[in-house]
Chains A and B, each alone.
Chain A
Amino acid sequence: MNIKGRIAPGNLGDRTFGFILRFFSWATIALFLGMLVFLAQLSWEAIQTYGPKFWAGTDWNPPMEEFGAAPFIVGTLASSLIAVLIAAPVSVGTAVFLREIAPRQLSSFVAFLVELLAAIPSVVYGLWGVFVLAPVMRDQVQPFLAEWFGPETYFASALGHLATAFIYPFSLIGNLFGVWQISLSELSVKMMAIAHGLFDGPPLGLGLLTSGVVLAIMIIPTVTALSREVLMTVPDSVREGALGLGATRWEMIRIALLRTARAGLVGSVILGLGRAIGETMAVTMVIGNRNVIPNSLFEPAQTMASVIANEYNESDGLHLSSLAFVGLSLFLIALFVNLFARLLVRYLERGRYA
């Protein structure tokens, strides 16, 4: 007799089946790891030539064999941020609307429409963006924005002051460690220039802002669905507790619902950000494709994904390798953002049920 006890030996069929499952599991895991390896191999020439400086380089000039990815990193981050700024309130609001306000049938109908919105292929959003949204942006939205928020407006000045106040403490830290030397007045001038430049320039239609809007429309269904799931996990007792204390519906939403689900909602917005960062086709079609760091939201730009889509087929040598390096960087950023969002959500879930 065995004191430690016995474990099931399993019969032949089970062992074979288990082997098959394990084989394909590890094949899929290998596929994922292989992605990193192959991308690194493909971009090896660029990695060797530039190293980390690649990300800081502002010039991308294929005929001159000069490659720096900063314009695309800026383009990706800027367009995704615009998208998230628009999408987050709309999505979370919609999720709350679906959970708390809409009657059951309306709620499931709207949820169904949102699902359909999520099903529309990226290239169709792009097509619509180019031929329908871009002209509207050019003729109506952008002139309006330029007038109210453009250069020499109160909004721009206020934004500049705000940004200076916000960034100044961080710049002090940089001064302290000798990373850079920048005075308050210099910083203020810079921030003012950025703030006044945001809505400057001719309204072209195609550009950073339009791609941000298209991206927002594309991630709204994702973020709405995720937020809705998060809100579903808030137990009814929390809501009823608030209502029982005499809270109005909105107070209940604000105090009980949103606060309880706060972290999960942030997680779902970040997952939406991850989607926006990796989105390719729609952005490629509406961003205008210019390999320069834009000064204004009206200017055409380029994202990491769109530059690959645009140039990869006509590239070779260092150009191809640099594009692959851009892809590798995009991969890593997307992974990081997703991992962060998932960890956040998981951490919170654990906190809630512990």
Chain B
Amino acid sequence: MLELSARDRRRRVTNVIAIGALCVLGFLAITPLFFIFSYLILRGWGGLSLDFFLEIPKPVGEEGGGMANAISGSLVLLSLTAAFGVPIGMLCGIALSELKNSFTARVLRVAVDLLTSVPSIVIGLFAYAVIVVPMKGYSAWAGGFALSIVTVPIVARSTEEILKLVPRTVHEAGLALGIPRYKVLLRLILPGVRSGILTGVLLAMARVSGETAPLLFTAFSNSFGFRGLSSPTASLPVQIYTYATSHDETWRQLAWTGALVLVFVVFCLNLLTRFLVRKS
């Protein structure tokens, strides 16, 4: 009864080939992950030691040394971002969801969209013009400023998305209790979605902790550790870049180990957000 004509047989063969090809493509997309990860461990693992975290780098040609300066610098820069970029991003996200279709929100939405598409090196140039030139020098401030600009649109977007998930009627329930709008939002809505907002913030921090380009001529680098917010500050990604492009074998080793540590931290942040999402 259900015999296949030649045409149908051809169709089935095409089907099998095409589906097979799609499977191969799906496999192809994730192979780089294994390659990159295995090389990071292969090349970076050997350099992992306490010294790596506690020592500052040694001059070219000398053995040993670590990336303590870069690690502490990265922490400083990330703290600045968390202190400025994250709250402003959240406020923008709240504004997007609260002011909905007002003129302000419409313009802000376009601005946030476009901000996400600004190449990070351009953000570095901007921070250079705004902070480095007037302050007459590279500084952690400038780096934190640049990273904050990277953060604002990401956090704004994720905050808005989360707030969108809260049904309108929950806001109304609060209003109907005779609670002012801002209190409804701050005291009744936000506490309920804090894990969602935290997820967005963590993802933004994960993204920002790997940013290199905006720091090249804002925070710049140093080789002695943190010396205050107004002086040049090293960071893990910039240090990896400098050492990777150097010709010193010890430094290259440091770059691989640094990359391993950086990727480990970023992956942990990502896993943490997944855990948070699953919990809520």
A93–B113 CB distance below 8 A: no
| Chain B residues, Cβ within 8 Å of A10 | 181
Q: What are 6 A-to-B residue pairs whose CB atoms are below 8 Å?
A: A21-B95, A91-B29, A120-B36, A220-B32, A278-B122, A312-B217
Binds A, one of B53-61, B165-173, B208-216, B222-230: B208-216
Known contacts: A13-B182, A114-B30. The answer to whether A25 contacts B105 by CB under 8 A is yes
- Per the 8 Å Cβ criterion, residues 151-199 of B in contact with A are 152, 156, 180-183, 185
B80 to chain A, nearest CB (A): 16
- Per the 8 Å Cβ criterion, residues 267-284 of A in contact with B are 274, 277-281
Task: Tell me the complex Cα distance, A335–B115, Å.
Answer: 9
Sort A-B residue pairs by CB-CB distance and give the 6 closest, nearest first. A121-B210, A278-B119, A93-B25, A17-B182, A97-B26, A338-B117
Task: Tell me the complex Cα distance, A324–B126, Å.
Answer: 9
Task: Tell me the complex Cα distance, A298–B262, Å.
Answer: 31
- Per the 8 Å Cβ criterion, residues 96-115 of B in contact with A are 98-99, 104-105, 107-108, 111-115
Task: Tell me the complex Cα distance, A234–B88, Å.
Answer: 35
> Which residue of the partner chain, among B26, B121, B181, B266, contacts A17 with CB atoms under 8 Å?
B181
A132 to chain B, nearest CB (A): 5
Q: Which residue of A lies closest to B274 (CB)?
A: A112
Q: Which residue of A lies closest to B22 (CB)?
A: A97
Q: Which residue of B lies closest to A254 (CB)?
A: B18
- Per the 8 Å Cβ criterion, residues 125-158 of A in contact with B are 125-128, 130-132
| Chain B residues, Cβ within 8 Å of A280 | 119-121, 212-213
B187 to chain A, nearest CB (A): 11
Asked if A26 CB lies within 8 Å of chain B CBs, one says yes
Known contacts: A21-B94, A327-B122. The answer to whether A28 contacts B108 by CB under 8 A is yes
A334–B118 CB distance below 8 A: yes
A285–B244 CB distance below 8 A: yes
A10 to chain B, nearest CB (A): 8
A305–B119 CB distance below 8 A: yes
Task: Tell me the complex Cα distance, A248–B22, Å.
Answer: 15
Most buried by B among A128, A312, A330: A128
Task: Tell me the complex Cα distance, A113–B37, Å.
Answer: 12
Asked if A35 CB lies within 8 Å of chain B CBs, one says yes
Task: Tell me the complex Cα distance, A26–B104, Å.
Answer: 7
Asked if A90 CB lies within 8 Å of chain B CBs, one says yes
A121–B182 CB distance below 8 A: no
B49 to chain A, nearest CB (A): 20
Asked if B19 CB lies within 8 Å of chain A CBs, one says yes
B91–A123 CB distance below 8 A: no
A164 to chain B, nearest CB (A): 31
1/0 per residue, CB under 8 A from B, across A91-131: the answer is 10110111011100000001011111101111111111011
| Chain B residues, Cβ within 8 Å of A28 | 88, 92, 108, 111-112, 115, 152, 156
Most buried by B among A24, A125, A217: A24
Task: Tell me the complex Cα distance, A288–B95, Å.
Answer: 45
Asked if A331 CB lies within 8 Å of chain B CBs, one says yes
Task: Tell me the complex Cα distance, A94–B25, Å.
Answer: 6
Q: Does more than half of chain A's interface fall in helix, strand or loop, or is it mixed?
A: helix
B180–A11 CB distance below 8 A: yes
- Per the 8 Å Cβ criterion, residues 215-274 of A in contact with B are 217, 220-221, 224, 248-251, 253-254, 274
Asked if B147 CB lies within 8 Å of chain A CBs, one says no
1/0 per residue, CB under 8 A from A, across B52-71: the answer is 00000000000000000000
A→B interface (CB under 8 Å): 10-11, 13-14, 16-18, 20-22, 24-29, 31-32, 34-35, 38-39, 41-42, 89-91, 93-94, 96-98, 100-102, 110, 112-117, 119-128, 130-132, 217, 220-221, 224, 248-251, 253-254, 274, 277-281, 285, 305, 308-309, 312-313, 324, 327-328, 330-331, 334-335, 337-339, 342
Task: Tell me the complex Cα distance, A115–B18, Å.
Answer: 25
Asked if B75 CB lies within 8 Å of chain A CBs, one says no
Q: Which residue of A lies closest to B252 (CB)?
A: A131
| Chain B residues, Cβ within 8 Å of A17 | 181-182, 185
| Chain B residues, Cβ within 8 Å of A338 | 113-114, 117
B130–A38 CB distance below 8 A: yes
Asked if B140 CB lies within 8 Å of chain A CBs, one says no
Task: Tell me the complex Cα distance, A205–B182, Å.
Answer: 58
B19–A101 CB distance below 8 A: yes
B98–A90 CB distance below 8 A: no
A21–B29 CB distance below 8 A: no
Asked if B79 CB lies within 8 Å of chain A CBs, one says no
- Per the 8 Å Cβ criterion, residues 222-280 of B in contact with A are 237, 240-241, 244-245, 252, 255-256, 259, 262-263, 266-267, 269-270, 274
Task: Tell me the complex Cα distance, A221–B119, Å.
Answer: 18
| Chain B residues, Cβ within 8 Å of A274 | 117
B242 to chain A, nearest CB (A): 10
Known contacts: A90-B25, A116-B33. The answer to whether A305 contacts B130 by CB under 8 A is no
